[in-house]
């Protein structure tokens, strides 16, 4: 299994269970890992034969900013299913850090892994 990884993708989003959280944009930092086979792209040297990580990052940004879930669990599950729909993606690992949500801590992190199995 080969992995295409996007590290520390930070963006603001509306997320949370409290009323004030649904009215304020908060900082989230994502690590996105996509399990795939890069050999066709390596052989052809053609972007069309691989996952365009810039386009994936833009897709993640657009998706996250368009949602308003209460839970990180909901956001990550929906994002994982969206990314699994990409041709060639066999496994998705997502990690998100919600900054400043716990006094005295950098934040809270949730990590999930999903596959077609």
Catalytic positions are: 98
DSSP string covering 79-98, please?
HHHHHHTSTT--EEEEEEEE
How far apart, in whole angstroms, are the C-alpha atoms of residue 3 and residue 6? 10
How far apart, in whole angstroms, are the C-alpha atoms of residue 35 and residue 91? 5
Q: What is the token pair recorded at 28? A: 């989230």
How far apart, in whole angstroms, are the C-alpha atoms of residue 103 and residue 114? 31
Summary count for the chain: helices (H), strands (E): 3, 4
């Amino acid at each position: 299994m080969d992995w295409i990884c996007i590290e520390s993708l930070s963006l603001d989003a509306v997320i949370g269970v409290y009323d004030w959280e649904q009215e304020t944009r908060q900082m989230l930092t994502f690590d996105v890992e996509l399990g795939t086979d890069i050999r066709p792209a390596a052989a052809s040297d053609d972007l069309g034969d691989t996952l365009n990580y810039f386009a994936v990052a833009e897709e993640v940004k657009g998706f996250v900013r368009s949602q308003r879930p209460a839970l990180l669990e909901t956001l990550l599950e929906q994002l994982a299913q969206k990314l699994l729909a990409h041709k060639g993606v066999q496994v998705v690992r997502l990690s998100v850090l919600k900054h400043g949500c716990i006094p005295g801590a950098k934040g809270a992190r949730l990590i999930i892994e999903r596959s077609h199995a």
